[in-house]
Amino acid sequence: MRKVLRILLILVLVAVALLSLPYIRYRRTAGIVPAWVRIGGLEVHGATESEAILSLTKGLDEPLELFHGDKRLVLRPETVGFQVDPYAMLKEAQALDLPNHLVRYLIEASLERSPRTLEIPLRFSYNDAALEAWLDETIAAYDRAAGAPIPVLESLTLAPGKPGLTTDRAGARTAILAALATASNRTVRLPVAQTPPLPISVEALGSLLQARLDEFPGIGSVWLHYLPTGEEIAINADVAYAGTSTLKIPILIQVYRELDAPPGIDTRKIISETMTYSGNFTANLMLGMIGDGNWDAGVAEMNRSFKTLGMKNTFMATPYDRKLAVAPRIVTEANQRTDLNTQPDPYMQTTPRDIGTSLQMLVACSEGGGTLIAVYGDEITPEECQQALHYMSFNEMEELLVGGLPEDAKAVHKHGYVPDTHGDVAAIWGPSGPYVLTIFLYRPTWLEWDYSNPTMQDLAKASWNVFQQMAEQ
C-alpha cells in the first residue's frame, strides 16, 4: 500500500510540475479576459479593462479610404453612426465557462499544443439610413449613364460615347461594413461595373443632323423616316413652307390612283416630263388627269386626298403658276405658328413631315403595304407605286440632297425651290435599309445656293454615314 501511495504522490508531483508553468503563464497574462479568448480578432488577455477597451476601439474610428473607379472618397465612421461596443464584448468574454476552459488550456499547454481559442465577434452598431443616404449621394455623384454617341461635324459621323459606370449597391454596402469592422484594412474598392456606350442609332443621328442644321443661317427643317423600324427624326418638321415642286409627289400618286389601266404613251410622256424636268405645265396636265380634264377640279381632288391621307398642313389653292387678284388665305396649324415663320407661298404649302410622309407611303406601297393600300385598296397597286418611283428616278437634279450621297447609292427624289425656300424629298436605300429624308431651308427674301446646297448635301451625307455605322456595329 505504501508503495502505491508513493507512486501516486510521485505522479501528482510530476503533474503539478508539468502544469505549474502553463498555469503561472495563464495567471500572468489572463487579465480580465481569458488567454484563450480573442475579441473581434484581437488578443487582449493580460490587459486591464481600460487597455482592452482601447485595443478594441483603436483604429476603428479611422476614416475609410474608398475608390470609385479612379475617384478617391473618404468615409468617416461617424458619418454612418458607426460605434463599437467594447463593454458588451468584454462581458461576453467574461461570461465563458472558465473552469472547464482553464483545464483544457492547461492540458493543451502541457502537451505543447497551441490552445484552441474562442472568438468573440466584434459588436458594433451603425445608422442604416445614414449609410443608405451616403450610398445614394455617392452613386448619384459618381455613377453615370452610358453616353450617347457624339456628333463629329468634321467627318459627319458619330463617335462612341463614354462608357457608363454602375455601382453594385449591395456589394458596396457589404464591403463598407466589413472595412468599418476591421482596423487592419481601411481601404475599399467599390464594386463598380462599366457598361458600354449607347449604340449608334436613329436617335443619335438626330443629334448630328441638329448640330449641322444649327450652322445654317436661317430656318431649317429635317424629317427622316427609317422604314425598317418606323423610327423618325423630326427637326422643325411641322413648320409651313412653300410647297413648290415637291407637291408633284402626291400629284403623281393621285394620277396612278386614277388610272384604270397602265398609262399610255401620252400619259407616260407627261409624267416623265414632270418628274424629269419638274415642268409646271405638265404638272397641271396631271391635275387635269385627276380632275377629268379640269385643272381646278384636280386641285380640289388633291386637297381631299391630302386630308384623307392625314396631310393636314398641305394644300393647293390653284394649279401651278396661276395667281389670283387677291391671294388666298388658307389657315393651317403650321402656318399659324408664331415661333418660326417662313412666309410660305399662299397658293401651295406643305410641311417636311407631310410631304415626306407622302413619299414614305409611296415606298411602302411599292413593297405591298402601308397607308395608300390600306386607304385606297385596289385603287392603287404595288406595281403602280413601283412605276411611280421609277419615274421619280428620272430627276436630273444631281445636287442638293442627292449630291451628298455616294455615286452608286440607290435613291429617288423630288426637289423644289422658290427665291427664299429650297426643299428636297428623297427615298434612299441605305446601308442598313430604306429611309425617307426631307429637308427644307428658308432665308428671308433670297436663299443663296451656296448656303442651301452644302447644307443639304452635308445632312444627306451625315445620314448615309450613320446608317453605315449602324450596319457595321
Q: Quote the cell numbers at residue 427.
A: 427615298
Grid cell at residue 460: 444627306
- Sheet containing 219-226: give its strands across: 231-235, 219-226, 433-442, 421-430, 410-418
pLDDT at 465 over 60: yes
CB contact set of 175 (below 8 Å; sequence gap of 6+):
188, 189, 190, 191
What is the arithmetic mean of pLDDT over 44-62?
A: 76
pLDDT of residue 238: 98
Q: How many helices (H) and strands (E) does the chain have?
A: 15, 20
Q: String of b and e for 28-67 (b: at least 16 CB within 10 Å)? A: eebbebbbbbbbbebebbebeeeebbebbeeebeeebebe
Q: What is the pLDDT of residue 107?
A: 57
Cα–Cα distances in angstroms (integers) from residue 134 to residues 84, 164, 168, 177, 264, in the given order: 20, 21, 14, 13, 79
Query: Domain 202-472 is of which CATH architecture?
Result: 3-Layer(aba) Sandwich (3.40)
Q: How far is residue 250 from each of residues 237, 257, 307, 319, measured CA to CA in Å?
A: 18, 10, 12, 14
| C-alpha closest to that of 55 among 106, 127, 126, 120 | 120
Helix axes 382-392, 265-277, angle to 10 degrees: 50
Residues of the chain with CATH 3.40.710.10: 202-472
User: What does the alpha-carbon distance between residue 29 and residue 59 come to, in Å, rounded to a whole number?
Assistant: 23
pLDDT tens column, 99-136 = 455 555 555 555 555 556 677 888 889 999 999 999 99
**Residues 6+ away with beta carbon under 8 Å from 341:** none
Directed axis angle between helix 98-110 and helix 2-30, to 10°?
Answer: 110
3-state helix, strand, coil split of the chain in percent (to 5) is 45, 20, 35
DSSP code, position 156:
T
**Looking at residue 122, what is its pLDDT?**
83
Q: How confident is the model at residue 61 (pLDDT cuts 50, 70, 90)?
A: confident
pLDDT tens-digit map of 210-240: 999 999 999 999 999 999 999 999 999 999 9
pLDDT value of position 55: 77
The model's pLDDT over 289-329, given as tens digits with 9 standing for 90+, comes to 999 999 999 999 999 999 999 999 999 999 999 999 999 99
pTM of the model: 0.79
